[in-house]
Amino acid sequence: MRKIMPVLALFLLVFAVSGCGPLTDIWNTKASEEALGDGRRALWNDSPDYGAAREAFEEAVRLRPSDDMYARVGLTYFFQYNFGAALPWLKIAATMNPEQPWVAKVALAAGYAATGEETLAQDIVAEAVETMPDDAMLLNNAAYTVSDEGLLLEEMIIILERAVELAPRNGMILDSLGWAYYKNGQTARAEELLERAVKYSDDEVIRQHLSEARLANR
């Protein structure tokens, strides 16, 4: 055993130095995750550094050019409401692997809608509506992000209605649906839902949404 182990160590070292083999894969994965984290921190600072974020994201996909990494970068921009910046990353992810997770498809549709490509957005989000997962918070988080920007409202209402079916006493989800109706000009329905939301979650944002709906209905 003492004779085998140095040989094995030398074998692994040669593969790592030559740019292939298991050690390189492990290192690249770890380094790409660190770069992704650096990019997210640069975006989510009180004063975002967009240049530093992009450099970090480019390093992340250089180290691990997978559809998963491109999608995660795109979703980072998506949940920051920067749909235009999210779109190029999500397009690459979808090209590499069309079977992206559900939330990535919604984000891709939002990116197209935000950049004026309505037909593509409608086609993608129609598929997303047909394949909704049974995860109320996932549905809520994706659809609220889009509807809050006034995009694809009818489709996001369908998604949020499903989220409410799954979690009918969740004030946050009721608020998301009520706010989507408000954004869509259906203020009476919005007020009804937001009143229910306040009963389950006495949150400042929800109360503000309710106040705006009530004001619109005067």
* Angle at CA of residue 133, ends 128 and 137, nearest 5°: 105
Tokens 């000009």 locate to 185
Non-local CB neighbours of 12 within 8 Å, separated by 6+ positions: 21, 22, 23
Half-sphere exposure of 25 (CA within 13 A, CB side): 6
- Tokens of residue 114, six digits: 């935000």
Residue 213: which domain range? 133-218
pTM of the model: 0.86
Domain count, the chain: 1
17-70 residue pLDDT tens: 444 445 456 667 899 999 999 999 999 998 999 999 999 999 999 999 999 999
Question: How far is it, in rounded angstroms, from Cα 158 to Cα 140?
Answer: 11
Looking at 18-135, list the stretches that DSSP marks H as alpha helix, in order from N- to C-terminal side: 22-44, 50-63, 67-78, 83-96, 102-114, 118-130
Percent of the chain whose pLDDT exceeds 90: 84
C-alpha–C-alpha distance, residues 134 and 176, integer Å: 17
What's the CATH code of the domain at 209?
1.25.40.10
Is position 141 within any domain? yes
Q: Is residue 28 part of a domain?
A: no
Residue 97 lies in a domain: no
H or E segment to which residue 140 belongs: helix 136-147
Per the domain annotation, does 40 fall within a domain? no
pLDDT of residue 31: 94
On whether residue 203 sits in a domain, the answer given is yes
CA triple 164-137-58, angle to 5 deg: 145
